Structure 1
Amino acid sequence: MIHQLAAVDKRAKISKNVIVEPFTTIAGDVEIGEGTWIGPNVTIMEGARIGKDCKIFPGTVISAIPQDLKFDGEDTQTIIGDNTTLRECVTINRGTKALGYTKVGSHCLIMATSHVAHDCIIGDNVIIANGCGIAGHVEIGDFTVMGGLSAVQQFGKIGKHTMISGGSLIRKDIPPYVKVARDPISYAGINSVGLRRRGFSNEKIFEIQKIYRAIFQMKMNVSQALAYIEKEMLPTAERDEILQFIQNSPRGIVKGYGTGKDRE
């Protein structure tokens, strides 16, 4: 299943039913799970760990060394989960000694020309549209959908089940279950459509709306809103997840319902 015009190091651990198309290069310290398809002109470098039933399209480069001047040749990895698709010319750099790996979860879709930098952690079922740039040490939660040509500043954190509009510049953290849009980027309601598609009940969606209404619409600062939520709302997994995310956000979260202004 390995084309004769592919260059595959004999030390690479390639499972059954893996297809490697011509002009692809695979280094020695690489592991690839069963049923994965690797298209032509793909480069898979040292430290790659690729799961089962993935699809990797032409021009993609996995596990190149970090674009980080502090990198000193340490042994690190790039981990790709099962059933993940990487479209044309995606680049995913391996980690540094800060974390030791870059990780993309299972059932993800990373569209053409997007870049995932060193030491990022991307959850399961994440969709990253064309041309996104994700800087180092970024964390993206499960079921996030990121619109095309968006960029995330280094050390940014994005919660689960978020929807990010195309062309967004993300300098602040984005808490779970919300939509963000506009320029400058700001809260645009909760991701109710996405939550319904993933089986959240109307009661649970209303609970999340109530939490964010306190944070963004009741004319309290963030500290006051969190204290109000802890006192007035019953503890649930979603409530506690939102509170913990915001409390653990050193750079702060996006603003609420800003209209922004056009760039000159």
Structure 2
Amino acid sequence: MATTIHPTAIVDPQARLGEGVAIGAYSLVGPDVTIGDGTVVGPHVVIEGHTTIGRNNKFFQFCSIGAAPQDKKWSGEPTRLEIGDGNTVREFCTFNIGTAQDAGVTRLGDDNWISAYVHLAHDCQVGSHTIFSNNATLAGHVHIGDWAILSGFAAVHQFCKIGAHAFIGMTTSLSQDVPPFVLAGGNPSAARGVNIEGLKRRGFTRAEIDGIRAAYKTIYRAGLTLEEAKAELAAAAGQGGEAAPHIETLLAFLGNATRGIVR
């Protein structure tokens, strides 16, 4: 399939476009941009900076991709934005490159559904198969695990971590880490339970879900300190069973939590 560039688009001669790439009307692609096969860039999209985009992505109109970070410490270092394969990015999204104060790269994985007006700030690390509803916003240095869902107008404080399969409710203001599998919401945010419906949709067995629910109760309902809860979880994981790998995932997350967890 041939690459197509609308006559009104401006694509720098140094940009690297794969086969079957389509660039829409009035879009702009900078010299340090690489776009993989089959990616479609709609009209009025700006892709700049040191930006690498994978295969079969779809960018809707008026997105700003790879612009300078909104960080006063950034002074022009050649930091990057990396986007994987199969992502859908809706209107008016803004993804910034990284900073030298962190990994130097902002990342978005594969098969993510990014709704309108979503902001991914500098150095964010977003996994795969996530869903961001309209106006979900990440401050700098946020980490999002695979299969996480952020509802509309959810706002995440810088350096927070959200674990795999977590669900963040609408208009949540999040300033602490959310462990995997946890449903969090409110302002101030709090843990509301296990994302059971999401786990069912992804094929988790009843035994896996029951084990995750028991682990949640250990953390949030047993009256234990976090260190005591971690010891209980380690013992539960050591007994094996279908849920053991998921409990180990929880333990690993709790061991790396930097802002404390929602309680």
Q: TM-score range with shorter-chain normalisation? A: over 0.9
User: Which letter does structure 1 place at the counterpart of 2:207?
Assistant: E
- The 5 A counterparts of 1:148-159 are 148-159=152-163
How many correspondences in the alignment?
255
Matched, 1:77 2:77: no
Q: What is the aligned partner in structure 2 of residue 194 from structure 1?
A: 198
Q: CA deviation at 1:243?
A: 1.1
Percent of aligned pairs with the same amino acid: 38
CA separation in 2, counterparts of 1:250 and 1:80?
Answer: 25
Whole-angstrom CA distance in 1 between matches of 2:257 and 2:37: 39
DSSP-derived class of the 1:180 partner: strand
Post-superposition offset of 1:178: 1.2
Please give the alpha-carbon distance, in whole angstroms, between the structure 2 residues aligned to 1:61 and 1:232: 46
Tell me, what secondary structure is at the counterpart of 2:5? coil
Deviation, 1:232, is 4.4
Structure 1 residue 86 corresponds to structure 2 residue 89: yes
For residues 52 and 45 of structure 2, what CA distance do their matches in structure 1 show? 15
Specify whether residues 43 and 207 from structure 1 end up closer, same or farther in structure 2 by C-alpha distance, changes over 3 A only. same
Matched with 1:15 is 18
How many angstroms apart in 2 are the aligned matches of 1:198 and 1:61? 32
Indicate the RMSD between aligned Cα atoms, in angstroms: 1.0
Amino acid of the structure 2 residue aligned with 1:9: D
Alignment pair present for 1:114 and 2:122: no
**Cα distance, 1:53 vs structure 2:** 0.7
For the residue of structure 2 that corresponds to 1:78, the secondary structure is strand
Shift of 1:66: 0.6
Aligned to 1:248: 256
Q: Displacement, 1:119?
A: 0.4
Identify the range of structure 1 (178-187 vs 32-41) with the bigger mean alpha-carbon deviation.
178-187
Moved more, 83-92 or 220-229: 220-229
Q: Paired residue for 2:6?
A: 3
Q: Which residue of 2 aligns with 1:239?
A: 247
- Preserved contact between residue 89 and residue 115 of structure 2 (Cα < 8 Å): yes
Q: Compare 186-195 and 227-236 and name the one that shifted more.
A: 227-236
Say which of 139, 143, 147 aligns to 1:143: 147
Aligned partner of residue 258 in structure 2, secondary structure? coil
Residues of 1 paired with 2:258 and 2:30: CA distance? 39
Quote how far apart the aligned CAs of 1:182 are. Answer: 2.7
Any gaps of 5 or more consecutive residues in structure 2? none
Candidates 48, 59, 63, aligned match of 2:62: 59
Residues 43-65 of structure 1 show CA distances to partners (whole Å, capped at 9, x for unaligned) of 00021111111000111000001
Runs of at least 5 residues in structure 1 that lack an aligned partner in the other structure: 256-264
1:250 shift after superposition:
2.5
Question: Helix, strand or coil for the counterpart of 1:246?
Answer: helix
What letter matches 1:240 in structure 2? E
TM-score normalised by L of structure 2 = 0.95
